[in-house]
Amino acid sequence: MAFEIAYKRSVEKDLVRLGKTEARRVLDKIEKELVARPDAYPALRGEFAGLRKLRVGDYRVIFAILGEQVLVLRIGHRREVYR
């Protein structure tokens, strides 16, 4: 079963900050792996409980699973994305 990917509006700004090559790499990983099995990625704890993360090198994709849809909330460097 393939999930539908949706992006929060602020994700566009996050991608611009990454640069073209890193943004393409992150988007490719989202389109290939996150669509198939979003529940295979680790759940976050603490104030981010209920969300999950996808690791792409030093970057993290923070997302939520909403029924048949995956909502990408944030993309950023690992030291800044959780702030």
Please give the pLDDT value at position 45: 95
Distances (CA, A) of 20 to 15, 23, 75: 8, 5, 14
Sole residue written with tokens 């090559």: 21
d(CA 19, CA 58): 14
Q: What are phi and psi of 7, to 5 degrees?
A: -120, 135
| Domains (range + CATH), the chain | 4-77 (3.30.2310.20)
Prediction pTM value = 0.94
CB neighbours of residue 43 within 10 Å: 12
Q: What is the pLDDT of residue 83?
A: 87
CA-derived radius of gyration, the chain: 12
Q: Please give the pLDDT value at position 78.
A: 95
